[in-house]
Structure 1
Amino acid sequence: MPRLTTSSIPKAVNYSEKILNLTRSSIGPAVTESETVTNELLPHFRVGEKQVFFPKARIILLRPNAKHTPYQAKFIVPKSFNKLDLRDYLFHLYGLRALNITTQLLHGRYVRLSAFSGRFRGPQIKKMTIEMEQPFIWPEEPEKDEVSRWNEKFHEQLNKYKEENQMSVGSDVDKPTTAFEGALGKYAEGSQPFIPRFWKSEIINKRDKADKKIRYMEQLSKIDKFAKDADLNHELRR
């Protein structure tokens, strides 16, 4: 039997480091094969000791306004974010240096659920503007013809998904669709807890009795309210 040595064991590939280095190389300075970053990518600030491997924050890059220069970028960040968080996030994830950061907290828009209800403000929006070493210019917006060509395959798959759902009857109801490479399901129902038959019927009966009692109490409250309104009108007429 051949003996395993350290040289014969294949090395595990760290795909997360590989993706991170490719992202950094496409944005900033290159990364060598030994996964050592050049001096140009050294942090320009003191790096904290706490490591976050799966950040849950959602950062949205916005198109610049007329007052912004190509050396500035604007983001929508969570309200719990501060300047240091955005600086660390952009540097460690994209290799982007945020030299100067300004914060802006905006009021939420007024929201009206219906024409007969009052309006209320939505949640506040926090925006941050950074200054960069290198300029970044947004590409021009695509024309309508280009957008339709991009979405042609999507609409084909969407129509295929609708047709398969309409044609699925009988035993084919739970059959997974072939549109979008099966990403939209249909997925099998998960495991359900086992409940004996007599317990199930007892639970259903209790639920029905509780619902019946609630409906009865609601009717009594309506009758009571109607009687009070009638007495009040009678006293006012006197």
Structure 2
Amino acid sequence: MSDDAIDAHLATCADCQEFYNRAALLNRNLHFQDPPADFSLDSAPDLSKIIIEGVEPQWRRQAATRALGMALARVATVLLGVAWIAWAVGYLQQSLAIDASLDPAGYQLVTEAAIVRFALGFVCFFAAWQPRVVSGVVVLLSALWMFHFGFNLRNFLLGELPEPMLWQAALLGLTVVVLGATWLATNGWVVLQEALRALGFGVGVGEPKWR
């Protein structure tokens, strides 16, 4: 059974939520100590057919919503890639107008700005083509945006931030948001729950807590 079907059923079945929480408790206890004396796991019958029949309408709605979200996210990712490439071409044209022998520092800055934007455009195009790689780049781009925003926060608050830097922060932040939405649309909300559990946040459905 897929994770989406199980997740949809867990959200509406109190008995399965209780079983899930008890299983999570046993899993934690096995790492540190013996399970409680009153804890036991009975042999469970195969309920997959009943569960599938019960969640199929909701499952189909979720699948349709995810498909629509995925299509919109991929279109937005392509548009962001076009924006980054267009901006890179503009910087590349500026670099051609600079004499590297007379202004090596300026030439290097403009060239590196073009290189970074070409790379970000390529990332967007590749993510739209292969959405499953998004998880590998969204963390990197989030860190890039965080440091960019952090280093320029003072100038932003004082109103001294140059307009190109402001546009860069906005476009980079939008890229992170769109790639994050692509990641969720590709894997479903269950992957976010699994990521939180992997970080030690949450032991059961509806009961988030730090371990």
**TM-score w.r.t. structure 1 length?**
0.19
When you count helix as a share of all residues, which structure comes out higher?
A: 2
Structure with the larger strand share: 1
- Highest RCO, 1 vs 2 (Cα 8 Å, sep ≥ 6): 2
- Larger CA Rg, structure 1 vs 2: 1
